[in-house]
């Protein structure tokens, strides 16, 4: 009996995706719950697991766009034993007849596939890879190159390729690949935000001395009690909640011709992943303590990097915090994450000479940037919000007394 492996429903707004990677090969014997593939959509990258054990037959290749509900593989549940490994010292007569030529043997599977499809012999193509190895790019160039007639042999041949001046052997001047659905969606949303919102940015700088001293003083006790480190992001999440409560206009958004005022505090935290930028949402930050926020940030960030993030993890945020400082950014203008009306950008901490009580002292300073939709938020409100965030970071005791 064969079990169909289908693309599951991932959310009402997701109709298709790209099967980006198979974790198994055609004919493998898989175990129940074993990861089979990675599916990239315009919102998330998810893994599909085997629902039963058996021998798998793949129906689609990597890079294929598949629809929700489409069958991408079959699992034969009656075959659960591993096939015996072939003896590398012996070959059947058929295998001997189909043994690859030396040039093909040195080539990768992509080269052999192109050779089979086009009839171009890799032995006749000058390789630009390591030790003269023929690459996929060499074969594609050979396929599109004008052919000349070999008078002595009476057949067409492929012109010999030469290395382009200024490039070293084994390198290509360009590579080209199609945008993943996630990257394409990121690009679309960023352009949408800039085209549709009247976006402005206001800046300030914050003295990180107090927060850094608190982290240093209580870090060990915090880790022992909660099992996670006390990071900067929980301080900023709490400061943002305070700012949103003091300036409610920031916690609103446009929907058509209506202005929607939010009365909850689900804060998005931008996370860089190998697939691109994602913004998992930390729910009800006003009701969480510092440890609760740190635990949720760590959990969703890990799911995002592992490709196990869910659609629910990414939806419903009212405000976003992005931290370019971890990459060394000194100052930037973050782009709003629609339909939200504002975003806070954090930057690198640098020691600077500052005037404090008439004295010049060295302090760890960070630039803050708030980009906002001027259709919803006035300049006064944006500046006031940023000042409130600054005040809490420089004097966290304000959170205790509600000042």
Q: What is the CATH number of the domain that holds 55?
A: 2.40.50.100
User: Do the beta carbons of residue 318 and residue 251 sit within 8 Å?
Assistant: yes
pLDDT at 28: 92
Distance CA 375, CA 88 (A): 70
169 part of a folded domain: no
Domain boundary, last residue among 46, 76, 106: 76
Does one domain contain both 270 and 373?
yes
Active site (annotated) includes residue 226: no
Confidence (pTM): 0.64
Residue 117: per-residue pLDDT = 66
| Residue at 162 is within a domain | no
Q: Looking at the structure, do residues 362 and 294 belong to the same domain, yes or no?
A: yes
- CATH no. for residue 335? 3.30.559.10
Q: What is the pLDDT of residue 170?
A: 57
Question: What gap in Å lies between CA 20 and CA 45, rounded to an integer?
Answer: 9
Q: What is the pLDDT of residue 261?
A: 96
Are 198 and 299 found together in one domain? yes
**Is 378 annotated in the active site?**
yes
Whether 172 is in a domain gets the answer no
Q: Answer whether residue 174 is part of any domain.
A: no
Residue 386 counted as domain residue: yes
Cα–Cα distance measured from residue 221 to residue 211, given in angstroms and rounded to the nearest whole number: 16
Catalytic residue among 150, 220, 306, 378: 378
Residues 49 and 121 both lie in one domain: no
Per the domain annotation, does 206 fall within a domain?
yes
- The answer to whether residue 343 is domain-embedded is yes
The domain of 363 spans 181-401
- Which of 47, 76, 105 terminates a domain? The answer is 76
For the chain, residues with pLDDT lower than 70 are 11-13, 42-43, 80-111, 113, 116-117, 130-131, 136, 143-171, 182, 403
Does residue 251 sit in the same domain as residue 331? Answer: yes
11-31 tens-digit pLDDT: 656 778 888 889 999 999 999
Residues 190 and 282 both lie in one domain: yes
- Those residues whose C-beta lies under 8 Å from the C-beta of residue 295, and which sit 6 or more positions away, are 226, 227, 228
Q: In total, how many domains does the chain have?
A: 3
Last residue of a domain, one of 76, 103, 126: 76
**Which residue, among 250, 252, 279, 285, has the nearest Cα to 266 in the 3D structure?**
285
**Within a domain: 201:** yes
**Residue from 384, 354, 352 nearest 370 by CA:** 384
**Whether residue 392 sits in one domain with residue 276:** yes
Residues 214 and 313 in one domain: yes
| Judgement on whether residues 318 and 217 belong to the same structural domain of the protein | yes
Secondary element (H or E) of residue 47: strand 45-49
Of 33, 150, 221, 374, which one is the catalytic site residue? 374
What pLDDT is stored for residue 202 in this prediction?
Answer: 97
Pair (149, 187) in one structural domain: no
Q: Specify the pLDDT at position 71.
A: 93
- Same-domain pairing of 285 and 386: yes
Given this model, what pLDDT does residue 145 score? 61
Residue 317 Rama label (left phi>0; alpha psi -120 to 50; beta): beta
One domain for residues 333 and 191:
yes
């Amino acid at each position: 009996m064969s079990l169909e492996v289908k693309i599951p429903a991932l959310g009402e707004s997701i109709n298709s995706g790209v099967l980006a990677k198979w974790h198994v090969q055609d004919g493998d014997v898989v175990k129940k719950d074993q990861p089979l593939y990675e599916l990239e959509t315009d919102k998330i990258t998810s893994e599909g697991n085997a629902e039963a054990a058996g021998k798998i037959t793949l129906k689609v290749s990597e890079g294929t766009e598949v629809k929700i509900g489409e069958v991408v593989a079959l699992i034969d549940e009656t075959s659960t034993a591993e096939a015996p490994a072939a003896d590398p010292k012996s070959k059947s007569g058929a295998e001997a007849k189909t043994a690859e030529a030396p040039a093909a043997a040195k080539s990768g599977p992509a080269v052999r596939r192109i050779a089979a499809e086009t009839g171009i012999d890799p032995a006749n193509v000058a390789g630009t890879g390591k030790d003269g190895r023929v690459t996929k790019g060499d074969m594609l160039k050979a396929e599109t190159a004008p052919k000349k007639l070999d008078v002595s042999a009476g057949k067409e041949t492929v012109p010999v390729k030469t290395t382009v001046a200024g490039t070293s052997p084994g390198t290509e001047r360009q590579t080209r690949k199609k945008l993943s659905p996630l990257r394409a969606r990121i690009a679309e949303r960023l352009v949408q935000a800039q085209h549709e919102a009247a976006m402005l940015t206001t800046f300030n700088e914050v003295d990180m001395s107090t927060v850094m001293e608190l982290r240093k003083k209580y870090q060990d006790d915090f880790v022992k009690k909660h099992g996670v480190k006390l990071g900067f992001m929980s301080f900023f999440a709490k400061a943002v909640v305070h700012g949103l409560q003091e300036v409610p206009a920031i916690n609103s958004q446009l929907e058509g011709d209506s202005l929607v005022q939010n009365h909850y505090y689900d804060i998005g935290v931008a996370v860089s992943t190998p697939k691109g930028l994602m913004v998992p949402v930390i729910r009800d930050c006003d009701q969480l303590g510092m440890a609760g926020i740190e635990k949720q940030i760590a959990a969703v960030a890990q799911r995002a990097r592992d490709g196990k993030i869910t659609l629910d993890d990414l939806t419903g945020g009212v405000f976003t915090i992005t931290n370019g400082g971890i990459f060394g950014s000194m100052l930037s203008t973050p782009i709003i994450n629609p339909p939200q009306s504002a975003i806070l950008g954090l930057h690198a901490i640098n020691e600077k000479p500052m005037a404090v009580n008439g004295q010049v002292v060295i302090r760890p300073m960070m630039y803050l940037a708030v980009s906002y939709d001027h259709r919803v938020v006035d300049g006064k409100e944006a500046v006031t919000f940023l000042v409130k965030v600054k005040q809490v970071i420089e004097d966290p005791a304000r959170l205790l007394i509600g000042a």
